[in-house]
Every structure is written in C-alpha cells, then in structure tokens.
Structure 1
C-alpha cells in the first residue's frame, strides 16, 4: 500500500474519531413556581418526569445524529408544547376573557438571529412560528393576527382556539375569577424552554408559554422578548427563563447573564445566581436554565421548585422538580 494511501486512511480515522468525541448538551425547563409534594402527588410527578425525559431523550438522539442546536430546540419544545402538563401549547392557561394566548421566541448564538411571536391564539406550536419569523422574515417579533397570518403563509399548523383547552387550566381561571384576587406564583408554573450546545459548537435558546392565568389587556410577558426571557450568544451562553415576566423584562434578565459573563468574566452558574438574586431583591419569582460554550449548565430558581433536566453527550443526566432534589 502506498504511503499516501496509508496517510489518507489515518487522516480519515482521526477525523471520524474527532467527530465522535464532539460534545453536546441539552437543558430544559417546564416552569418554576410554588410547588410541594402535597400539591403534586406521586402520580403527577411521574407524569412530569416521564415527559421531561421524553424531551431530553429526543434531544440526545438528534444531537448524537448531528442535528443543529436550532433543530433540537424546536423539536424538544414541541414535545412539551404538545403536552397538557405545561403552560405552553396544548396546556396554555386562560386569559381573563377565557381564551388562550401564546408567546414564544428563539435565538441562535452563532448569528445572533432571533424570532418571536406574541399573543397568538391559533398556532399549534408557537416555537415553530418563532423560528419561521427568525428565518423567513426581516423582523424579530410578530404579534396577534399578523403573526397568525404569517404562520399560515409559512404552512404551519393552525388550530381552533379550543384545541388549547384543558379542564385544569380552565378551573384555575374560574377560581381566580371567583376569588377576585391577583394570581399567585403557582400559576407561573408551566412555561417551557430549551437551551442547546450542539456538536458543532453552536448555541441556541428557545422559550414557549401561555403566559399568566387571568391576564388582561393583551398582556405580554418576557418569553417572547429577546434579552428578557430568551438569549443566546456563542461567545457566552444560551439562556431560557420562566417566572413573573414583568421582572424579567425590567432586568433584561437573559441578556444580563450573558453580559455578566462577557464583561465580568463570571462563569455561567455564578452569573445565573447573581441574576436570580437581583430578581429576589425585586420580590420577583422564577428560574432560569443555561448552557455555555463549554457545555457547562445552570438550572437556578428562587421558588420551591422548577421542572428541569439536562443531558450531556457523556451520558450525564438529571431530571428534577423540587428544590434540593
């Protein structure tokens, strides 16, 4: 065998070996809020963990097969959007008027390109619409009927608003209306998010939500706001938030985490904790997940629980609900 042939095969083997050693990470959340084992019984906990596991395993499979971070974020969030367990897609909460309005956003760390939709009532998977805005429009955020028209033109699945109905979410609205009180932290629970570092070294973050139970006047929270509920930058991290959105918007929460890493050289977990401390000082509640360019992860919150999990190419994996779990 000629030397050149030997060198070619040696190079090929080294290249394939290097490809197989590339690292990836997927992190997800399903909302943070006031939780207890009394309110969420063992059967419900098993259902939540099974769905979180399904989402993580899909992400792991896709990443192992070489999928991009953007593809993974969308498909993983679809799993949670299609489940009535979470306040996103099928399980979205009700507004004061008794309808479902959904928000979502996505951002790529390599290009800083982003897309979002807000206040939509008939798009089955809002995260898909957010991606379409990012990739097929000159805009970052579309809202209401205009976003729905755009989604139809993009061939996305449109459903009647009744598709999003779930009895538990409807009863939650009725209880709040009956008591004529402000919603409590437990109603924040359910917003979903995913952050990914793919095998090519690119980051992506996405968030999808039904917003707040009993919200009025077309209220929009942090989830569709780039830099508040979602942010990604290959130089620092990818972040998805969940909680009382007004506080996240005021803080520029997601972008601030990236800035703390960029300008103060903080590591991801320290930056997330510092931002959560700011949230706490403002008497806001919620949580955040993140992954940095090295694959380090963070899952921080100041509530009694957050549906959360992560899975790395090394096989390291965790799924949890309550604090200190």
Structure 2
C-alpha cells in the first residue's frame, strides 16, 4: 500500500491465485495505463488500456487467454467498466470478441448498462470490433488439465459438489469430467490527475461452469465499483463475491472512514479462506491491493 496526496494512481491485478511470475504482465499493463493517462488524463481510458494489455496476454484468463468451457469448444467472457463521470457498461457471456473490455466500454454509450450473448456480439460486429482469435494450443492444454478431476472427490469449485455439474449439465455435447478451477479476473483501478476514479475488469469465466454462467465481473457492486471516494475491483470465485456484493461492501467501509488497506482486508475476511480472493483499490490518497493467496499486482503512482 502507498499514500499520495496528489497526482494519479494505477493498480492492476492479474487474478487471485495466478503465479507471481506473471507480475511482469501487470507491470506492462500498468505502464500502458500510465502512458494513456499522461496523454488523455482520463482515468477510464487508462483502466481500459491496462485491461486490454492483459486480454492480449495468453497467460491470463481474459480475452485471448480465456478458459474453454466444459464442452472444450465454447468460450464465454464477461467484462465491465465504470467511472465517476457516469460511464457504466458491462458485457456478459459473449463469445466471439477479441477484447470484451472494448465492448463493455461501447455499451456504456448505448441506452443500456449490460448486454449479453448474441445481442452483445451483434453490437460488436456493428462496431467493427475484432473477432476472437482461434483457440490456441495453450488454451486446449489448460482444458485437458481441467478434464482430469471433476469426477474425483476434490471439489473443482470451492464449496460445490462435483456431481452438481452432471446433474445440471446444459451443453450439447456429452459430459466429460475435469479438474478445477480457473476463475480469475484481470482488472485495473485508476485515480486520474483530475480526481476522477475508474475501474475496468475482464474475465474468461470460470472452469468448471454451466453454459451461460455469468460471474461477478459483469455485476456492478460485486466485482467492481467506483464512486467519489475511490474505485474497487475484486477477483476470485464470482459466486462467493456476488453473495457479499464485495466491491460495494468494501466501498461502504470507505464511506465509514476506514483506510483503504483496512477496508480491503475487512472485505477479504468476509470470504472463506479456502476460496482464492483478491481486491485492489484506489482512493483520493491511497493505492493498495490485498489477497488471501498469491496475486500478480502492479502499482504506479505519480
């Protein structure tokens, strides 16, 4: 954590539970955000730029590195943006888009706040956004590794009986059983030099999950929130994060006058310690991250 009276702040995370070796990707994303912030002064532009860097890095579960769904063929992604200028947009369960964060930003300019599935993809086509890259060898390898454990006794998703996926199976192809558990999100929070705040997040979803599953990344107040006091982003298992409205809850602690680091830790304490979870945030004077596991993170201030 660090404190700063004036200037801007950027915090980027690469997902709770991801290797710290990936910190270089977060550093690259934060540097890109800084460059954009110095160019435009817009906190949201900077947050989106950071997330785009991570969407293009196949190591992270977002954009081009998104995990395959249980059928081994489908990818469903969520993304969101929010700032203190009134811009708010999210996309859920979108498939054929290279950078879902750009689609979330575009949705903020429509009459709506959230678009999902086919409608979101049609908007992406009309806007000329790039289609998703072909499924890579790295994505297929991750999926093969996942397909080794769902039939076992170890929960592939924290707190969930593996047999639940078989009971509620809703894919066209037959069930093939796997190892858990990709549920990472990438995200960025930014305080602009003008005092405005922004947050952006993107995820390739959770593995395992039922088709059409939407996590916290697309749900305002759960995976993300920005207000006049700061911006908060969460990462981890969406089903746990949503139940606590984690980002908005942490922001509520800020409203009570709690320092940022303490607010993040208190929010983290709401989640079972066995569930990988992380939080990042910026306020008028602080920039910090907090997690109950390893989480690649980068903080830049000026």
Instruction: Answer yes or no: same fold by TM over 0.5.
Output: yes
Asked whether 1:252 is paired with 2:253, we answer no
Partners of 2:107 and 2:236 in 1: CA distance = 24
Distance in 2, matches of 1:287 and 1:210, equals 17
Match of 1:306 in 2: 295
Which one of 47, 65, 79 corresponds to residue 91 of structure 1?
65
Say which SS state the counterpart of residue 26 (structure 2) adopts.
helix
CA contact (8 A) 1:92 1:165 kept: no
Alignment of 1:44-83 (within 5 A): 45=21, 48-83=22-57
Contact persistence 1:191–1:242 (CA under 8 A): yes
Q: Quick check: 1:241–1:289 contact (8 Å CA) kept in 2?
A: yes
Alignment check: 8 A CA contact 2:63 2:100 kept? yes
Q: How many Å separate the matches in 2 of 1:279 and 1:151?
A: 35
Q: List per-residue Cα deviations over 1:125-167 (Å, max 9, x = no partner).
A: 01100000012x1111111111101111222112366369623
TM-score, normalising length: structure 1: 0.79
Aligned equivalents of 2:210 and 2:143: distance in 1? 15
Is residue 108 from structure 1 mapped to residue 49 from structure 2 by the alignment? no
SS in 2 for 1:199: coil
8 Å Cα contact 2:184/2:237 also seen in 1? no
Could you give the per-residue CA deviations for residues 251-284 of structure 1, whole angstroms, max 9, x where no partner exists?
A: 111111112211x221222111111111137x64
How far is the alpha carbon of 1:189 from its aligned partner?
A: 5.9
Distance 1:180 1:118, change over 3 A: farther
Q: Does 1:293 align with 2:277?
A: no
Where structure 1 has 5 or more consecutive residues not aligned to the other structure, the ranges are 1-20, 314-325
**Structure 2 match to 1:173:** 146
Question: 1:279 is matched with which residue: 271, 276, 283?
Answer: 271
Q: 8 Å contact 1:29–1:194 — kept in the other structure?
A: yes
Q: 2:10 matched to which residue of 1?
A: 26
Closer/same/farther in 2, CA of residues 22 and 164 from structure 1, 3 Å limit: farther
Consecutive unaligned residues in structure 2, runs of 5 or more = 159-179
Pair 1:267-2:267 in alignment:
no
Q: Give the SS at the match of 2:156.
A: coil
Partner Cα distance (1:80, 1:32) in 2: 14
Point out which structure has higher relative CO (alpha carbons under 8 A, 6+ apart).
2
The CA distance in 2 between the partners of 1:86 and 1:172, in whole Å, is 16
RMSD: 2.3
Distance 1:247 1:131 in 2: 26
Deviations 1:73-105 (A, max 9, x none): 111111000111100011111111222111011
CA distance in 1, matches of 2:6, 2:280: 22
1:210-246 Cα distance to aligned partner (Å, 9 max, x none):
111121131111011111001111x211111100111
Secondary structure class of the residue paired with 1:127: helix
Higher deviation after alignment, 58-67 or 74-83: 58-67
> Which one of the candidate residues 129, 151, 174 is aligned to 2:124?
151
Task: Find out whether 1:207 has 2:196 as its counterpart.
Answer: no
